[in-house]
Structure 1
Amino acid sequence: MSVIYPNQFLWSGFVFAFLFFFAGIFAFRYSEKLNVYLLFLVAIALVVLGNLSQGNFDIAFLQPFYLKGRQYYADAIQITDGAIWLRDFTKNLEHFQLHTRTHPPFVTLLHFWILNISNIETLAIVFFAIGCLSFPIFYKILVYLGFEAQRRKWLLILFAVIPSVNIYLLVSIDSLVLTSTFIFLLGFARIFNQNKIDVWSFVFIFSGLLLTNLITFSGLFLFAFLGCFSFYFLLKGKWNFIWLSLMMTILFVLAFLMIRVTTGYSHLETFLQASHSENPDGFRLFHQPFVYLMTRLEDIGEIFLFLSFGFLAILFSKRAGTEVFGNPKINILFFSAIAALSAMLLTGAYGTGETARACLFLVPYFLILLKDVDPNQFKVLFYLCLIQTFGMQMIGNFYW
């Protein structure tokens, strides 16, 4: 499960929690009167207020980096020469903190580069700013997928108060992953909108693919998504996405070969060693079948829990007005994502849980299902989600 500590219950935290709650109500009720740029600011404010429910700036913005001394930050402040550190990364892998060992080195180097020119406060602000780029990109995706204006505004506000997003968008690495995977999804949404693969669609998909894999090995999800998506259209007799996937793979390999030649860093060697570090006894199903099964269930359950009970009520409801699988294009995106994640879970990925954070990139695939949900049902979903996030932020410290 995600690492959760009790909230310190500071009086300032209660003030921020109630500000978050009432700001969420206000934003949703008056979203029709707010232009989209103001809504972006409101969405950002909701994330900030939700996290300030922990009590203050230090707890919300800075402690996720330095608390317990287990994060990338602890390794980043030990770097003296980034080029040498990158060259020897795989060789020294076992000496790093857990998160550094199980991620590509560019995550820790990003910490180092920012800290080298500024301080931890700037590091937090930069990470949050990159994460917040997900709001305008998500909105553009909704435009491409044909969402009407008011539903786009509602979804933007809902996105900001979904528990997993509100809790982990602030300063976690996974907020950067969310933004890069949004760029990837933007390319597919553009293809659906234009009914063709143009240059910008190609650029968005490849940029998202490359950036995501530079900062997390979970970027393999995007390759699995490409495979599932292409296979669906292959069954329809269409080869264009097969060629797209092949070109993406070739360019991806060339990019990392160039990194290998110029820096000495091998992405493949690091991936294999990181996988062995996380699973030293091999495929867990063979030597710990019960643990394998229970962690799979835990991973799925945590994704659902942090989507909110309100969303699950809509997703599994049979009532009129709650239909979520009525749009063929959205179904292709959603089920390709689910098939890709299922394949990863079957391999034993996410053996320690924490999928609410590590699979933050799944949230948009669920939210786009709400395109045609009845407005009254959507309102109930939003308020239930807001209440759940309000409660979770006020009583827990979701340290990652």
Structure 2
Amino acid sequence: MKKLISLCMMWCICLSMWAGKHYTVIVSLDGFRWDYPQMYDTPFFDRMAREGVKATMIPSFPSKTFPNHYTIATGLVPDHHGIVANTFWDPQRQELYKMNNLKTRNDASYYGGEPIWITAQKQGIKTGNIYWVGSDISVKGQHPTYYHVYDQKPRLTQTERVAEALRMLKLPEEERPQLVMIYFEDSDTYGHTYSPHSKETHRCVEELDALMKYLWEGLQSLPFGKDINLIVTSDHGMATVSADRFVPIKHLLNEKWYSLIDGNLPAQIYTKPEYRDSVYQALQGLNHVRVWKKEDIPAYLNYGSNPRVGDIIVLPDLGWLVEEGNKTLPGAHGFDPTYDDMQVMFRACGPDFKKRYEAPKFRNVSIYSLLARLLHITPEKTDGCLEEVENMLIQ
């Protein structure tokens, strides 16, 4: 009799969980600043704020694309998951990782942590993915259940990505992904090329707002549309930069002191050990930058313990670049994430989210915990925490 009661209780729990099954679609609009909905006309994002949750999200350092998309996926800061910049030197391999070099980009051994799609699939949940960083790489020997290779041409257009997400969600229930992740790059491209404050970026933002409305209407048209959560957010913001705000450093350094200077936001200097102090001392007193030995990087940036981080870090003030030339694109990112211009929009609506709720600022390392909660799965240990984001959920 006890065994029968126990089986009945388990069956009731399973039925209850099945009845409350919700789906989650999370979208990243690369380089989409938190204040774009204030700067431009975005009726759908305004509607999401009225019908769901509005917040500002703080990226991890450095505020770059690959590090932050992989942070959102794993809940780990770049210093801990290993993708410490878009390009970096790996001293163990004696190799330069570059996000646009297929050899290094597709080398799964660079990618630490466990993306949410793997955590979900280990617990019996199917996932779909359209171009999220890391999704087309065999991390821990796994891919999402359904995914697309970013470098396979022709790449899906924006509307094709929406159509593909809807196609996945129209699959028979036993094949259907419960988590779908979608990436769009256009807002980053326009922000870099024309600056955040430009008519071109204005048009791009409004087109993305319309595209997200199209996605939402497609989701709501499904038989289970009321059971779908939609999250729209980003990896980092965008700041205006110009060619008259450069801080050149190479002329201050003897070439025999270092093996590589990589990047400008921040500049990572990989020094020869015996000249590390020489490089550090030579860069003291510069205006518009902060210079640290990696072990002295402020704790709030959570950066510097990974061997892939440069020995000396030169981080410019907002709007400045560590640069030698006289030309630059009008928009850039990578700055200290506490600058408002680096922070990003967060909108969420659906059955699990409160309505008309403005949540406090939160760190992007906690998105993994939020997704795990929405999927009712046990998360891996991360640098984020559910407590930081559970205020936005219906309890």
Name the one with the larger strand percent: 2
Q: Rg bigger for which structure? A: 2
Q: Same fold (TM over 0.5)?
A: no
TM-score, scaled relative to structure 1: 0.23
Q: Which has the higher contact order (CA 8 A, sep 6+)?
A: 2
Q: What TM-score do you get using the length of structure 2 for normalisation?
A: 0.23
